[in-house]
Structure 1
Amino acid sequence: MTQTDICHCPVTLSSSSALEDWNGVVLGVLSHGRETPNHLGRLMEAEPDFAMGYAARGLFCLMTGRAEVIPAARTALQEARRSASANRITTREQGWITALAHWLDGAPTAAVEVIEQILRALPHDTVSAKLSHGIRFMLGDSQGMRASVERVLPAHGTDHACRGYLLGCHAFTLEETGEYTLAEKAGREGLTLAADDAWGLHAVAHVYDMTAQPDNGIALIDQNTAAWQGSNNFRYHVWWHKALLHMERGELDIALGLYDAQIRADKTDDYRDISNATSLLMRLELEGMDVGLRWEELADFSEARVEDGCLVFADLHYLLALVGAERGDAREKMKARFARDAAKSGEMAVRVDAPGMAALAGLNAFSEGRYDAAFLNLAAARPLMSTIGGSRAQRDVFERIIIDSGLRAGRYDATAAILRDRLAQRGGTIDRFAATRFYKLNTARGIAAQ
Structure 2
Amino acid sequence: MLEDRYGLPLSTASQAARDAYVAGVDSVISGVAGYRGHLATAIDNAPDFALAHIALARGMFLDADVAPARTLAAKARELSASATPREQSHIDAVALAIEGKPVQAMQAMHAHLKTWPRDAMVLAPATSVFGLYGFSGDADHEEQLYQLLASLAPAYGQDWWFEAVYGFAACETGRLDQAWTLLERALAANPRHAHAAHFRVHVMYERGESAMALDFLEDWMPRLDKRSLTHCHLSWHVALAALAVGRTDRAWEVYRSSVHPGGAWGPPINVVTDSVSFLWRAELAGQPRNNTAWREVRAHAQSSFPKAGLGYADTHALIACVVEDDNEALQTRLAEIRDKLEVNKYPPGDVVIGITDGFAAYGAGDWDSAIFELEAARPETVRIGGSRAQRDLIDLTLVAAYLRANRIEDARRMIAQRPGRQAAVPVMGYQ
Q: TM-score, normalised by structure 1?
A: 0.83
Q: Which residue is equivalent to 1:193?
A: 189
| Separation in structure 1 between the aligned mates of residue 8 and residue 415 of structure 2, nearest angstrom | 42
The equivalent of 1:443 in structure 2 is none
Aligned to 2:368: 372
The equivalent of 2:18 in structure 1 is 19
For each residue in 1:201-232, what CA deviation from the matched residue of structure 2 results, as whole angstroms up to 9, or x when unmatched?
11111111111112221222234347744661
Verify: 1:303 aligned to 2:306, yes or no: no
Residue 220 of structure 2 aligns with which residue? 224
Which residue does the alignment assign to 2:416?
A: 423
- 1:261-301 per-position Cα deviation (integer Å, ceiling 9, x unaligned): 33333366611122121101100011221142211221221
The equivalent of 1:283 in structure 2 is 281
- Alignment of 1:101 with 2:107, yes or no, is no
2:204 is paired with a residue whose SS is: helix
Matching of residues 345-424 of structure 1 within 5 Å: 345-346=344-345, 349-351=346-348, 353-409=349-405, 415-416=410-411, 420-421=413-414, 423-424=416-417
Q: Give the aligned residue type for 1:423.
A: A
User: How far apart, CA to CA, are the structure 2 residues paired with 1:306 and 1:238?
Assistant: 22
SS for the counterpart of 2:96 is helix
Equivalent residue for 1:119, pick from 113, 119, 128: 113
**What secondary structure is seen at the aligned counterpart in 2 of 1:11?**
coil
Which residue pairs with 1:146 in the alignment?
146
2:117 is paired with a residue whose SS is coil
287-296 or 37-46: bigger deviation: 37-46
Shift in alpha-carbon separation, 1:120–1:179, aligned structure 2, 3 A: same
Please give the per-residue CA displacement for 1:68-98, whole angstroms capped at 9, x wherever unaligned: 83x555544543332233x133324424314
SS at 1:232's partner residue? Answer: coil
Q: Is 1:103–1:110's contact at 8 Å kept on the other side of the alignment?
A: no
CA contact (8 A) 1:8 1:125 kept: no
Cα 1:328/1:269, change in 2 over 3 Å: farther
1:284 corresponds to which letter in structure 2? A
Secondary structure at 1:123's aligned position in 2? coil
Please state how far the C-alpha of 1:200 moved relative to its aligned partner: 0.9
CA, structure 1 residues 330+36, in 2 after alignment: closer, same or farther (shift >3 Å)?
A: same
- 1:217-265 superposed Cα distances (whole Å, 9 cap, x missing partner): 1222234347744661412211211222222223333212221233333
Change beyond 3 A, Cα 1:72–1:407: same
CA offset at residue 102 of structure 1?
Answer: 6.4
State how far apart, in whole Å, the 2-side matches of 1:31 and 1:188 are.
Answer: 15
Q: Say if 1:124 and 1:156, in contact at 8 Å, map to a contact too.
A: yes
Report Cα offsets for 1:82-135 as digits up to 9, x if no partner.
2233x13332442431453367464x2442342233333233333333232142
Residues 165-188 of structure 1: per-residue CA shift (max 9 Å, x gap): 222222211211112222222211
Alignment of 1:177-216 (within 5 A): 177-216=173-212
Q: For 1:22-33, list aligned pairs within 5 A.
A: 22-33=21-32
Could you tell me how far 1:38 is from its partner in structure 2?
2.7
Q: Please report the TM-score for the alignment, with normalisation by the length of structure 2.
A: 0.86
- Root-mean-square deviation (CA), in Å? 3.0
Give the distance between the partners of 2:161 and 2:219, measured in 1 at CA.
Answer: 18
AA in 2 matched with 1:174? A
Residue type at the aligned position of 2:185: E
Counterpart code for 2:178: L
Residue identity in the other structure for 2:316: H
Give the CA deviation at 1:52.
3.5
Corresponding residue for residue 340 of structure 1: 339
Q: Count residues in correspondence.
A: 422
What residue number does 2:156 align with?
A: 156
When residues 5 and 13 of structure 1 are mapped into structure 2, their CA distance, relative to the original with a 3 A threshold, is same
Secondary structure at the counterpart of residue 2 of structure 2 = strand
Q: Secondary structure at the match of 1:7?
A: coil
Q: Distance in 2 between matches of 1:407 and 1:321?
A: 23
d(CA) in 2 for partners of 1:300, 1:436: 27
Tell me the distance in 1 between the aligned counterparts of 2:355 and 2:341.
13
For 1:287 and 1:266, the matched residues in 2 are separated by 23
Cα distance in 2 for residues equivalent to 1:370 and 1:52: 55
Q: 1:91 aligns with which of 81, 86, 90?
A: 86
Q: Is the 8 A contact 2:315 2:356 kept in 1?
A: yes
Other-structure match for 1:446? none
Taking the aligned partners of 2:362 and 2:85, their CA distance within structure 1 comes to 53
In 2, distance between residues paired with 1:23 and 1:244?
A: 35
